[in-house]
């Protein structure tokens, strides 16, 4: 079955839950996207930027040292960290910025948590000569100060959001308010497979290049499909991008790593699929971390990019149908994986991607050496090294006291 359906539903998930002011804009984006998808020139231009600007295809690297260390399946790393701007986010930002230009919009707005999407959006806007405003939770502007500077260098205006928990969900609220106000001139460049239809579909399709390349590369390299795919899930765009081209292949198991933060039982986590329940939040029906009254609860993760109380509706569908399995990874486990990949392979992953590596570390040792695993390294860790340094130093003090 081809999903989403005409109303943007993945089973019971998805849909459009936004103020009426935005509904015509969503219809316009869907129409423009469906036309663009069929337009050979649009696809050609997108592919040109993917190849000549972003640096695609990204390598599928056989991680021999990690494979040896974990002693199970053969591990390949999909190197989205080698994209221009350092993460998978540029795939979607380029696609949507080209779409916005096609719709005649000269201004794009975006929200960002870790800054990866903000940097990608600012980059695509600079490339295409568009005005760019990025909303970022004030808390995140401190955690990711370097990325704020990057966005400003790229000509974007970064607006710190002081409402609520001062993190990603509040940045999304502010971006939605901006969009409601400036909808006729502005395209909201949503950064993940979340929000109202058609965003989960559009972002998935632009990110599906990850899975399409992986499929081609692994077939060339090994002559067969992988047995397991691993990716981190905040909103879930890199995971959807990797998973989507394999959904019909029942033999390929899909694993999503959510943020367990300080532990699910502490209540300080961001694991929507593991510990949330279905509800309507920021434009879609999906798993949400909420209290009994349906109020959205504060979330926490060491990784600003995973620190979000919702998740893409297609992931909710994949969870309920059992097609993908979602497991929560703690800050501690992610930090271990962050260091392990750095030491064994000389690759410093983003803290987000470290969650995927950590989940693979749990599963891979139990697999046979004939099995093939692909872990999506969705972004590079440069943005996180200072934060990790602070945490590790603090940890040493705690252990030493």
Partner 1 sequence: MGVEKIDAVFTNRKQEGRRALIVYLCAGDPSPEAVATAVEHLAEIGVDIIELGVPFSDPVADGPVIQAASARALANGMNLEKTLLLVQMLRVRLNQPLVLMSYYNPLLQYGLDKLARDLAECGVDGLIVPDLPFEEGGPLREKLKSKKIAAIPLVAPTTTPARLNKITSIGEGFVYCVSLTGVTGARDSLPPGIAAYLERVRKVTDLPLGVGFGISSPDQAVMLAPHCDGIIVGSVVVETIYKKGLAAAAELVRELRQVI
Binding residues (CB under 8 A) for partner 1: these are 7, 15-25, 27, 163-164, 169, 173, 176-177, 180-184, 279-283, 288, 290, 292-296
CB of 220 to partner 1, least distance (A): 44
CB of 49 to partner 1, least distance (A): 31
- In the complex with partner 1, the residue whose CB is nearer, 207 or 286, is 286
Give the closest residue to 196 by CA, choosing from 32, 320, 27: 27
Cβ-in-10-Å burial (0-12, 13-18, 19+) of 346 comes to exposed
CB of 30 to partner 1, least distance (A): 13
Taking CA atoms, 138 is separated from 145, 161, 171, in Å, by: 10, 5, 9
CB of 292 to partner 1, least distance (A): 7
How would you list the strands of the sheet with 228-232, edge to edge? 60-62, 74-79, 372-377, 228-232, 253-261, 324-330
- In the complex with partner 1, the residue whose CB is nearer, 7 or 401, is 7
- In the complex with partner 1, the residue whose CB is nearer, 74 or 197, is 197
- In the complex with partner 1, the residue whose CB is nearer, 136 or 151, is 136
Residue that has been written with the tokens 């707005």 in this structure: 109
Query: DSSP assignment of 24-60, as one string?
Result: HHHHHHHHHHHHHHT-HHHHHHHHHHIIIII-PSPPE
Taking CA atoms, 97 is separated from 48, 172, 288, 341, in Å, by: 14, 18, 28, 33
- In the complex with partner 1, the residue whose CB is nearer, 130 or 296, is 296
CB of 133 to partner 1, least distance (A): 16
- In the complex with partner 1, the residue whose CB is nearer, 174 or 331, is 174
CB of 229 to partner 1, least distance (A): 32
**CB of 287 within 8 A of CB of 256?**
no
How would you list the strands of the sheet with 186-188, edge to edge? 157-161, 131-137, 107-112, 186-188
**Active site positions, annotated:** 89, 111, 378
CB of 282 to partner 1, least distance (A): 7
For residue 39, which phi and psi values (nearest 5 degrees)? -95, 115
DSSP conformational letter for 297: P
- In the complex with partner 1, the residue whose CB is nearer, 38 or 292, is 292
Longest dimension (CA), the chain: 64
The total of other beta-carbon atoms located within 10 Å of residue 387's CB is: 16
**Helices 145-153, 116-128: inter-axial angle, 10-degree rounding:** 0
CB of 222 to partner 1, least distance (A): 45
Query: DSSP assignment of 100-149, as one string?
Result: HHHTT--EEEEEESSSHHHHHHHHHHHHHT-EEEEEEEHHHHHHTHHHHH
Residue that has been written with the tokens 């926490």 in this structure: 300
- In the complex with partner 1, the residue whose CB is nearer, 220 or 293, is 293
First-to-last CA distance in the chain?
58
């Amino acid at each position: 079955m081809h999903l989403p359906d005409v109303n943007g539903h993945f089973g019971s998930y998805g849909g459009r839950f936004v103020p009426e002011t935005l509904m015509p804009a969503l219809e316009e984006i869907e129409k423009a996207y469906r036309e663009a998808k069929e337009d050979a020139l649009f696809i050609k231009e997108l592919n040109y930027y993917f190849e000549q600007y972003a640096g695609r295809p990204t390598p599928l690297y056989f991680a021999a040292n990690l494979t040896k260390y974990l002693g199970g399946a053969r591990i390949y790393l999909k190197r989205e960290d080698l994209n221009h701007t350092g993460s998978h986010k540029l795939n979607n930002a380029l696609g949507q910025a080209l779409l916005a230009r096609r719709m005649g919009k000269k201004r794009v707005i975006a929200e960002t948590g870790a800054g990866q999407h903000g940097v990608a959006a600012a980059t695509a806007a600079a490339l295409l000569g568009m005005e760019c405003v990025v909303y970022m939770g004030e808390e995140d502007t401190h955690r990711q100060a370097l990325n704020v500077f990057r966005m400003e260098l790229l000509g974007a205006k970064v607006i710190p959001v002081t409402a609520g928990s001062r993190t990603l969900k509040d940045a999304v609220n502010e971006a939605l308010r901006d969009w409601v106000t400036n909808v006729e001139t502005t395209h909201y460049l949503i950064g993940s497979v979340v929000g109202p239809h058609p965003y989960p579909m559009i972002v998935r399709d632009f990110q599906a290049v990850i899975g399409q390349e992986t499929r081609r590369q692994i077939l060339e390299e090994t002559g067969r499909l992988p047995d397991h795919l691993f990716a981190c899930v905040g909103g879930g765009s890199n995971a959807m991008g990797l998973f989507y081209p394999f959904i019909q292949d029942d033999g390929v198991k899909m694993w999503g790593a959510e943020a367990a933060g300080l532990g699910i039982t502490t209540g300080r986590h961001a694991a929507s699929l593991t510990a949330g329940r279905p509800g309507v939040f920021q434009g879609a029906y999906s798993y949400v971390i909420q209290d009994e009254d349906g109020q959205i609860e504060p979330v926490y993760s060491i990784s600003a990019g995973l620190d979000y109380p919702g998740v893409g509706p297609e992931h909710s569908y994949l969870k309920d149908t059992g097609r993908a399995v979602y497991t929560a990874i703690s800050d501690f486990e992610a930090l271990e994986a962050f260091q392990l990949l750095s030491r064994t392979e000389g690759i410093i992953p983003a803290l987000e991607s470290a969650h995927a590596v950590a989940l693979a570390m749990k599963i891979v040792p139990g697999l046979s050496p004939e099995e093939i695993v692909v872990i999506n390294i969705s972004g590079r860790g440069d943005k996180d090294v200072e934060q990790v340094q602070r945490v590790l130093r603090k940890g040493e003090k705690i252990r030493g006291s």
